[in-house]
Amino acid sequence: MFTFSGWNAAVYAAGEFRDPRRDVPRAMLIGCISVTVLYLLLNWIFITNVTPDESRVVFEYESTRITLAHLVVAHIAGPLAGSVMSGAMIVVLSSALSALMLLGGRVCAAMAQDGYFPGIAAGDAGRQPQLGVIALSSFALMLVWSHHLKDILQNVGVILTIPTALVALSLFRVAFDRRFSVQPTVVDLIAAGLYVIGTGIMLYFGVAASTSMLLWVAGLAIVSLGFYLLRKRGPDNDHSQRI
């Protein structure tokens, strides 16, 4: 779940594509297929070089603090190579986090433009929404400082699928609301339904593995509902004509 987090990130910058109707789906498909191939290849490398008992040390985070990549490379080429791999992982993760922060800031800007986030975060057209990036980065740092990384990885990966599942679920409302000029096809609705079902299954097993995830889900629901109710009280809360 965490590996595929961000599969929909191309949508965040859709307004900057020359032909978003063509380019955004293409970017999402290429990204998902590439990640799938890499994911399967990496897992093949893992399971052919490290036994389940050996890999268990990765989950003893408090005492070992090593990644599976470190363990595998150290097993193949020695401890020094494992340390080099850990350094490489830091660089790769840092670049991925930076990209997601820059893209995520555009979500805050879009929400501000629609009135669901403080208007000051909307930024100027054609420029990076700096306040959105700062807000998102601050929230991420708050999580890192207040929780163990292991807990964040276990819970956030599942929770991030909930908003995307709600978006997929909203297609069914669009299908029965003639105010929307573009209607989803049957294939769209089938894909959306399968995605929602898949999210429900992941959420079920996530909660079964860690009941603390319920607190994360409850926190997300409370914050989201609070923003929604504040917006409902404000002026100009009908955006159906824009969609």
Q: What is the pLDDT of residues 106-139, one digit of tens each?
A: 777 877 777 777 777 777 766 777 877 888 888 8
pLDDT at res. 170: 92
pLDDT at res. 122: 74
How many angstroms separate the CA atoms of 99 and 12, rounded? 12
Q: Which residue has the higher pLDDT, 44 or 110?
A: 44
In this structure, is residue 194 part of a structural domain? yes
pLDDT at res. 62: 63
Q: Which residue has the higher pLDDT, 197 or 130?
A: 197
In this structure, is residue 192 part of a structural domain? yes
Tokens of 66: 């090593």
Q: Which residue has the higher pLDDT, 242 or 42?
A: 42
pLDDT at res. 169: 92
Asked if residues 108 and 121 have their Cβ atoms less than 8 Å apart, the reply is yes
Mean pLDDT (the chain) is: 80
**Residue 201 exposed, middle or buried by CB count within 10 Å (0-12, 13-18, 19+):** exposed
In this structure, is residue 199 part of a structural domain? yes
pLDDT at res. 187: 93
Q: pTM for this one?
A: 0.66
Q: How many domains does the chain have?
A: 1
In this structure, is residue 63 part of a structural domain? no
In this structure, is residue 91 part of a structural domain? no
pLDDT at res. 190: 95
Q: Which domain holds residue 189?
A: 147-243
Among residues 108, 161, 96, the alpha carbon closest in space to that of 139 is found at 108
Question: What's the mean pLDDT in 146-158?
Answer: 74
CA distances 188 to 14, 21, 218, Å, are 19, 15, 29
pLDDT at res. 61: 62
Beta-carbon contacts of 186 under 8 Å, excluding residues fewer than 6 positions away, are none
pLDDT at res. 126: 65
Among residues 3, 12, 6, the alpha carbon closest in space to that of 37 is found at 3
Q: Which residue has the higher pLDDT, 147 or 198?
A: 198
24 pLDDT higher than 50: yes
pLDDT at res. 64: 66
User: What does the DSSP 8-state code read for residue 63?
Assistant: T
Residue range 45-94, pLDDT digits in tens: 888 888 888 877 777 766 667 778 888 888 888 889 888 988 888 888 88
| SS3 label, residue 10 | helix
Rounded to the nearest 5 degrees, what angle is found at the Cα of 125, between the Cα atoms of 97 and 167? 55
pLDDT at res. 241: 41
How many angstroms separate the CA atoms of 233 and 168, rounded? 26
How many angstroms separate the CA atoms of 193 and 145, rounded? 37
In this structure, is residue 141 part of a structural domain? no
**What is the Cα gyration radius of the chain?**
20
In this structure, is residue 118 part of a structural domain? no
In this structure, is residue 208 part of a structural domain? yes
Cα end-to-end distance, the chain, whole Å: 29
Tokens of 60: 């003893």
User: What percent of the chain has a predicted confidence (pLDDT) above 70?
Assistant: 91
Concatenating the DSSP letter of every residue in 79-143 gives: HHHHHHHHHHHHHHHHHHHHHHHHHHHHHHHHHHHTTSS-GGGG--TTS--HHHHHHHHHHHHHH
User: What percent of the chain has a predicted confidence (pLDDT) above 90?
Assistant: 12
Asked if residues 37 and 23 have their Cβ atoms less than 8 Å apart, the reply is no
